Amino acid sequence: MQYSLLDLAPIGEGQSISQAFANSRDLAQHAEKWGYHRFWLAEHHGMPGIASAATAVVIGNVAEATERIRVGAGGIMLPNHSPLVIAEQFGTLAELYPGRIDLGLGRAPGTDMATAHALRRSHDNGDGFPQDVVDLIRFMGDADPAARIRAVPGEGTHVPVWILGSSLFGAQLAAYLGLPYAFASHFAPAMLAQAAETYRSSFRPSPQLEKPHFMMAIGVFAADTDAAAKYLRTSMILSFARLRTGQPGKFPPPVKDIESLVPASLRASVEEALSCSATGSPETIRRELSALIERYRPDEVMLTGQIHDHAARLHSFDLAAKAMQEIGAEAMV
C-alpha cells in the first residue's frame, strides 16, 4: 500500500516563517528517503500557525528540493481562485517538475469568511465548485489551438486532479467525475465509512481513472514510548482547542498538564475530531494503523501530524514509514 504525507508548514511558537519553510523542505527530503509516495501541502489563510497560504509557491520550493516523490496540494481551495489561474500555476509546476505534481481540490474556503471575502472571489457556498473542477480539468487537458481561453502553461499537462472532502458531497462528485478521492479523516472522521462506500459504489470510470482510488488521512504521533508520543500529541490537542475557541496562534510546544489547559468538554470534542489517528511507540502505531487500514480498506494512506520539535517530527514520520512497510509486508504473506 502506498503511504503519503500531508504537511501544513507549521509555524511553531519561537519559530519563524522562513524556518517553517526550511522544515518542510527537510521533511520532504527525508520522506522521499523513507518511501513516502506523495508530499502534499494544504491551503489555509490568515492562520498564524500555518505557512502554506501560497500553496503553489511552497510546492515548487519542496519539489525543487526533492527528486522523485510526488508533490502536490491537499488541497487547493478552489472557490478562492479562478480555475484558469490554478491551471496556469499547476501547469507551470508540471512543466518544471514533470510527472511529479498532484492537484487536490477542496470546496471550503480554508479560512474565516472575512478573509475569504478579502480573497476577492465570490463565495456561493461552493455551488459553483463542480463546474469549476470540470473547467480546470479542461484547461489542463489536450491543447486546443482554436479554444478562445487557453491555459499556457497548463494545457497538455494533464495534472492528476483529486477531490478532497469530509462529507458525502465530495465523495459523490469524485465518483461522478471518475476522479481519485481523499477523505479528511484526520480532523473530521464522522462520515468516513459512509463516504468511502458512496464513492466506491457510485464510481464511474473516466479518462483519468479506470477504477476508484480512495485515500484516507490518518494522524500519526510516534515516539520511542507510548508516553512520549502522547506528550508530543498535546501540542495538536491544544492547537485544535484554540482554533475551535477562536484563538488560533502559532503551533504550541507540548505540555504536561493538558487537562488544566483545555476544559473536559472541549477536550472530548477535540479528541473525537482527532480520533482517526495512531499514537504511541513503534509497536503501538503499527497496531493502530493496521486496525484502521483493515477497517476502512483504503487504496492509499495519507499520514499527517504536527509536532512542535522538528527532530521529533522527523522521528515520528520515520517510525510511521517503518510501520507502514511492515504492514505492507504482512499483507503480502
274-283 residue pLDDT tens: 999 999 999 9
Structure-derived torsion over alpha carbons of residues 275, 280, 328, 219, reported in degrees to the nearest 10: 30
> Using an 8 Å Cβ cutoff, are 208 and 178 in contact?
yes
Q: Taking Cα atoms as reference points, which of 76, 15, 7, 6 lies closest to residue 249? A: 15
pLDDT in tens, 24-69: 999 999 999 999 999 999 999 999 999 999 999 999 999 999 999 9
Quote the pLDDT of residue 115. 73
Q: Which segments within the chain are labelled E, that is strand?
A: 2-7, 38-41, 70-77, 101-106, 161-165, 181-183, 214-222, 277-280, 300-304
pLDDT digits (tens, 9 = 90+) for 222-264: 999 999 999 999 999 999 999 999 999 999 999 999 999 999 9
- In this structure, what C-alpha cell is assigned to residue 267? 477536550
Inter-residue contact 98 to 158 (CB < 8 Å): no
Radius of gyration of the chain (CA): 19
332 pLDDT band, cuts 50/70/90, is low
Average pLDDT over the chain, rounded to an integer: 94
pLDDT in tens, 171-224: 999 999 999 999 999 999 999 999 999 999 999 999 999 999 999 999 999 999
Q: Which domains does the chain have, with CATH numbers?
A: 2-220+296-331 (3.20.20.30)
Q: How many CB atoms lie within 10 A of CB 134?
A: 12
16: exposed, middle or buried (C-beta count within 10 Å: 0-12, 13-18, 19+)? exposed
pTM for the full predicted model = 0.94
Contacts of residue 144, defined as CB under 8 A and 6 or more positions apart, other chains included, come to: 150, 155
pLDDT tens-digit series, residues 290-300: 999 999 999 99
What pLDDT score does 8 carry?
A: 94
CA distances, 24 to each of 67, 276, 288, 314, 316 (Å) = 15, 23, 26, 10, 14
pLDDT in tens, 78-136: 999 999 999 999 999 999 999 999 999 999 765 677 777 777 656 555 578 999 999 99
